[in-house]
Every structure is written in C-alpha cells, then in structure tokens.
Amino acid sequence: MAMLEVRDLRKSFYTYAKPGLQAGIFHKPGARKVVSQLDVLKGVDLTVNKGDVVAILGPSGSGKTTFLRCLNFLETTDSGTLIFDGEQFDLGKITKADIARLRKKTAFVFQNYNLFRNKTALQNVTEGLVIARKMPKAQADAIGMKMLEKVGLADRADSYPRQLSGGQQQRVALARALVLEPSVLLFDEPLSNLDAKLRVSMRTEIRRIQQKTGITAVYVTHDQSEAMALSDRIIIMNKGVVAQMGTPQEIYYHPNSEFVADFIGEANFLKGVCKGLDGDHALLEVAGTEVRVAAVENMKEGETYTIVLRPESAGLAPEGALQCKVVLSCFMGAYQNYHVMVGETLVKLTDYDPKNHHIYQVGDTCALTFRPDGVHIL
C-alpha cells in the first residue's frame, strides 16, 4: 500500500529585476520582469509504500534536496499532485491549513542535526511533544526516555550536544523525529558530516531502527553505498528528472543508461558490434575480438552495443580471447585491484580472493574474462 505518492512535481527558481535593485533569485515571478528561469524539478514522480525506505540519489544539482524540501513544504511547488495516505492534494493550490496538517504527519532529520545547544538530549527529544503537542512534561519525558533507549542513548539523556559525538548527536536528532510518530520520515543527507567509519555504523543503526519501528522514510543522499544499504528502492535523479527507479539490485545489475551504471558503483564500458545471434547469446566484436554475451531484446546484427562490466564480475587468465595488458596491480589486503588496457579502453577489476589466485604484475599480458550472463548490455 502506498503511503506517499507524488505525480509530475515541478519547481522552478526565477531571477528577476526591479528598478534600482540588483537582480536576485526568488521562488515565484512577481510583477517585476523575469530575467531568467531555472527549472530544478521537471516532472518528478515518486511512490513510497508503507514501511519502505526510498533513497533519492543523484549528483550535486540534480534536484534531490529541493525535491525533499518540497515534500515538507520548506519550498513552494509550482505544480504537481501529492497523495498522502490516500488523501489527494494539488500542490500548486494547496492551502496553509493543509500544509500545517501534513507537516504534523512528517518529521525531518537534517544534515547538521539542528539540536538545541542549551538543552539536554532528553529535552531535545521531548521538545516537540511538550511545545507542539502540549503534552505534560512527565509523560513526554517517559516517552522520550523510551525513544533514547531505542537509539542506544538512554545513559546520555542528561548530556548536552557539546558532550556528544557526531554520531550520538545524529541519533538524538533521529529520536527527536521518531518520538513524534510521523507517518513519513524525511532524511536530508543526515550522515554527510560524519567520518567514513562512523557513517558505516550509523547507516546500519538507522536501518535497524527503521526496520524495528516500521517507519516509512524518504532518504536523500549522494553516497551510493549508503543508498544501497538503507533502502528498499532507489530513485536516481539527474538534471531535475528521474533517470531510473528500482530496487538496489535492479539499479546495480540492470542500469538503463551509462549515466546510471557509472553513478551507482563502478562500471567499465566496452563498445562492441553485434556479429551474430546464437539462441540466447550474441557475439560482439570488442577490440577486434569476438566475445560471447547474453543477448537482450531486439538485438540486431551490425549495431553497436555497450557492455557494462562491474569490476568484481571480471577476472584475468593466462590465455583467452580478449587480450589485455596490466597497467596497475595494487594489493589492498582483502582484495587486489587491477587496471588493464583492452585495446584503447581502460578496464578496472577487483579480485576478492587474491590469496588463492595468481597475482599479475604491471606489464603482464593476459586475458580479460567474464561470464556471458555476468555483464549488462545497453
């Protein structure tokens, strides 16, 4: 069942001039002359099922944060339709009363925590219950302590933000959002200010808490690993539109474009001309050599296709059809990284069992290998 649906959401920023004043960026054109228009969101669709986490992923400037801010009405929307728990709203004509009512059903976890520096962890968590919900302090404190227990901070209830680590502050911010029992929780790159090791542990913690509480969430991030670890579905945005949406596995193994393949994880691209079809397989000529791959729908002989090859899906062998030359061999402990040249194309490989495999050195000539069904064809 869908908890949240967005259809054809559009948002633009305008630059306009006023006599005697410099031009500036404003949300909507007024009576003054519009100098330029920047279309940030160009008809975005989103469906979030109850209890799911949907990650919105994209490069800087793709519109992902603006989209999230529109969902919480921190930004106005030019047009679009919102269906929240079965109730439909025209975002271009939504009233202040409807906005206030919808905001009570959502909670926002910010990138910079936004904790009150002069309040303890418990006071930060209960602020919304006491101020917005008018709940008696004793009752709010009891609920707040239970939520701090869920995020593993019951013993730091009396600590101030300055006495907490970055990860602990983010857990307080998460508890503050969860205590309001929102229908949908909105995350705006909540882990971007943490160091790499802490980000890994915190994304696991957030996923654990989300699965335990069953909360529905929309999670904006620029970190591909974070998106895959936390989400049930991923939306890839680029230049204000949805480039692809699907499960993490669908996005990773079956990207619909070179942009998506390159953006989510690492990918190698080999160009090949189809030389013939053989049942479920096709022969592609790559760097003057024919290689066998799993055929895709509507493949035609003579046309050029792109082989998407993930680093972990390839290997090296002493002999084989697709010859290559090693230009980088780097031992990383748990794995061995290689860069090889296939004709004029650089290919990156990762061997996750270097202890039991031959280690190739820079300058070695060998063969690039992969299973016919271990690649994706575009």
Structure tokens at 195: 């160091």
What are phi and psi for residue 264, nearest 5 degrees? -100, 105
User: What residues does each domain of the chain span?
Assistant: 2-105+182-262, 266-377
CATH number given to 266-377: 2.40.50.140
What count of residues does the chain have?
A: 378
The distance in angstroms from the start CA to the end CA of the chain is 33
| pLDDT the model gives residue 37 | 86
pLDDT (tens digit, 9 = 90+) per residue, 221-248?
988 989 999 999 999 999 999 999 999 9
Q: Which residues of the chain are under the pLDDT cut of 50? A: 23
* pLDDT at residue 133, as a whole number: 85
**Contact partners, residue 45, CB within 8 Å, separation at least 6:** 6, 7, 8, 9, 242
- Give the CATH number of domain 2-105+182-262; options: 1.10.10.10, 1.10.3470.10, 3.40.190.10, 3.40.50.300: 3.40.50.300
Looking at the DSSP bridge assignments, the partners of residue 81 are: 7, 90
Angle at 118 between CA 113 and CA 122, to 5 degrees: 70
Q: Report helix, strand or coil for 3.
A: strand
Give Cα 33 to chain centroid, integer Å.
37
Return the amino acid letter for 26.
F
What is the reported pTM? 0.85
Between the alpha carbon of residue 134 and those of residues 53, 88, 201, the distances in Å are 30, 29, 35
The span from the CA of 74 to the CA of 72, in Å, is: 6
Say which residues have a Cβ less than 8 Å from residue 260's Cβ, sequence separation at least 6.
236, 243, 244, 251
The answer to whether residues 279 and 297 touch, using CB atoms and an 8 Å cutoff, is no
| Residue 75, burial from CB neighbour count under 10 angstroms (0-12, 13-18, 19+) | middle
